[in-house]
Amino acid sequence: MTRAANSREAPARPARRCVFLDRDGIINRKRPEGDYVKAWEEFELLPGVPEALRLLARAGCRVVVVTNQRGVALGRISAQALEEIHRRMREALAQAGGRLDAVYSCPHDHGSCDCRKPGIGLFRRAEQELAGVELSTAIVIGDSVKDMEAAARLGCRAILIAEPDTAAARLEALRSRGIPVSAHAASLLEAVVEHVITHAHPVL
Ligand SMILES: [Mg+2]
Ligand SMILES: [Zn+2]
């Protein structure tokens, strides 16, 4: 076989930027420490989230939620109840003109799997299961050290969501642990407008 015959390239597939969203504190209001969203009635969408999802859909981004839900392992919520919350979340966001391509949850306890963030198992699954997800151009948006650490392991851009009064301390904590952050914003909407859709077009 000649060298030329081997150099055939795979057919080009249009890349679409994938935005990985954490759930609690990004899409919905976080419950008090130690508590979990256990039913749809406790799921409170944060301001600007429907608009942010609309903008991402319009920019042609893939949007994938990756969430740690240890409450399942602790018996605080059943896997079925979690699925039902996610079904209704997707429905509510779709009605507002947004779209979630997929929702991946880790229901496990600390140290018992490779999918609980900062593990990257769920991101790898998304890469395998969803067409057009490229980790090299993906962006991770989250509010915890675990989210930023997962992004660093993946080599993705990472955007920290933090209230203005806590942002400096959060960024310093990340810096001292050597975890890079590409940008920070006060809300998902601010992150999308300032840091995501402005960069979306070149990879569409
Ligand atoms: Mg969170
Ligand atoms: Zn897991």
- Mean pLDDT across 40-53: 97
Alpha-carbon distance of 162 to 164, in angstroms, equals 6
- Beta-carbon neighbour count of residue 4 at 10 Å? 7
pLDDT of residue 204: 40
Ligand closest in space to the Cα of 112: 2
What is the C-alpha to C-alpha distance for residues 73 and 86, in angstroms, rounded to an integer?
17
Closest ligand to C-alpha of residue 117 is 2
Q: Among the bound ligands, name the one nearest to the CA of residue 188.
A: 1
| Residue range 103-121: mean pLDDT, rounded | 97
CA atoms 23, 26, 28, 29: torsion sign = positive
Going from the Cα of 29 to the center of ligand 1, the distance in angstroms, rounded, reads: 9
The residues annotated with a catalytic role in the active site are 22, 24
Residue 199 CA, ligand 1 centroid: distance in Å: 24
Least confident of 24-33, 133-142, 192-201: 192-201
From ligand 1's centre to the CA of 175, what distance in Å? Answer: 19
Residue closest to 60 by CA, chosen among 15, 122, 126: 15
Per CATH, the number for 14-203 is: 3.40.50.1000
Q: What is the pTM of this model?
A: 0.90
Ligand 2 centroid vs 67 CA: distance in angstroms?
Answer: 10
Q: How far is CA 104 from CA 69, 143, 148, 169, 175, in A?
A: 10, 17, 17, 29, 28
DSSP state of 181: -
Buried b (16+ CB within 10 A) or exposed e, 182-193: eebbebbbbbbb
Whole-number pLDDT of residue 194: 95
Does residue 201 register a pLDDT over 60? no
Looking at residue 46, the DSSP 8-state letter turns out to be P
- Ligand nearest the Cα atom of residue 65: 1
145-193 pLDDT, tens per residue?
A: 999 999 999 999 999 999 999 999 999 999 999 999 999 999 999 999 9
CA distance 169 to 164: 10
Q: How many angstroms does the Cα of residue 172 sit away from the middle of ligand 2? A: 28
Neighbouring residues of the ion ligand 2, judged by CB less than 5 Å: 106, 108, 113, 115-116
pLDDT of residue 132: 83
Q: Ligand 1 center to residue 66 CA distance, Å?
A: 10
